[in-house]
């Protein structure tokens, strides 16, 4: 086994990812459909982007305490 130091994974930043047509759901309830959903990814690896594009289901989770958009009071 090689003990060479391996650099960081192949990182990409600020990329738009087209996810194609999707159902829009909240919990188990279907709220609508979309012909195409695109998201802006701030930082990822090329491998992670491929997983995202091919994923059957993707969760969007509001982060608490980030810029006040999801802050609990």
Express each pLDDT in 4-56 by its tens digit.
555 566 899 999 999 999 999 999 999 999 999 999 999 999 999 999 999 99
- The band of 62, judged by pLDDT with boundaries at 50, 70 and 90, is confident
Cα 8 to its chain centre, rounded Å, is 20
Tell me whether residue 70 is in a domain. Answer: no
Tell me whether residue 5 is in a domain. Answer: no
Tell me whether residue 72 is in a domain. Answer: no
Helices (H) and strands (E) in the chain, counts: 1, 4
Q: How many domains does the chain have?
A: 1
Tell me whether residue 4 is in a domain. Answer: no
Tell me whether residue 6 is in a domain. Answer: no
Tell me whether residue 33 is in a domain. Answer: yes
- What does the DSSP 8-state code read for residue 6? P
- The band of 69, judged by pLDDT with boundaries at 50, 70 and 90, is low
Tell me whether residue 69 is in a domain. Answer: no
Tell me whether residue 63 is in a domain. Answer: no
Q: Which domain holds residue 43?
A: 11-54
């Amino acid at each position: 086994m090689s003990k060479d130091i391996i650099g960081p994974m192949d990182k990409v930043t600020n990329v738009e990812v087209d996810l194609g047509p999707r159902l829009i759901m909240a919990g188990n309830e279907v709220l609508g459909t979309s012909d195409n959903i695109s998201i802006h990814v701030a930082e990822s690896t090329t491998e992670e982007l491929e997983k995202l594009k091919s994923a059957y289901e993707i969760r969007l989770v509001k982060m608490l305490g980030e810029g006040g958009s999801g802050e609990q009071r």
